[in-house]
Amino acid sequence: MAIPNFTKLNLSSICIGMDVAQADVDQVISFLKRQHQVKFLWKTFGTHNVITVIICNKGEEGQCISNFRDILEKMRVKTLGFDVSVSFTWEKTDFSPY
């Protein structure tokens, strides 16, 4: 799969790792699956039980994160942890032997 250069497209990538109450995981996953800005979504078993990558317009990262938190609050989802990485780089990695 080709990974676009988000900088040239004037977009930012936001990775959000959440530790939500176990009772809320399926509700959060279901909600995220319906969002057009969500490009990747994982249900995990480590520090975070839900991880997602959201794409938004450059300069709107803070508002996007704030909106996301507001929606979780309105859904009455209890977040035990919420970590964010904004505008990380994407590179194709060559796994061929040396």
**The CATH classification of domain 13-86, taken from the options 4.10.80.400, 3.20.20.140, 3.40.50.2300, 3.30.70.920:** 3.30.70.920
1 near 92, Cβ under 8 Å? no
Sheet with 50-57, side-by-side order of all strands? 38-43, 50-57, 11-20, 79-86
In terms of C-beta density within 10 A (0-12 exposed, 13-18 middle, 19 or more buried), how is residue 37 classed?
A: middle
- pLDDT score recorded for residue 96: 77
Question: Would you state the pLDDT for residue 43?
Answer: 95
Q: What does pTM read for this prediction? A: 0.78
Predicted pLDDT of residue 91: 62
Per-residue pLDDT 10s for the chain (98 aa) are 456 666 667 788 899 999 999 999 999 999 999 999 999 999 999 899 999 999 998 889 999 999 999 999 999 998 889 999 886 665 666 777 77
Q: How far apart are CA 7 and CA 59, in angstroms?
A: 11
Quick one: pLDDT at residue 58?
Answer: 87
How confident is the model at residue 8, as a pLDDT?
65
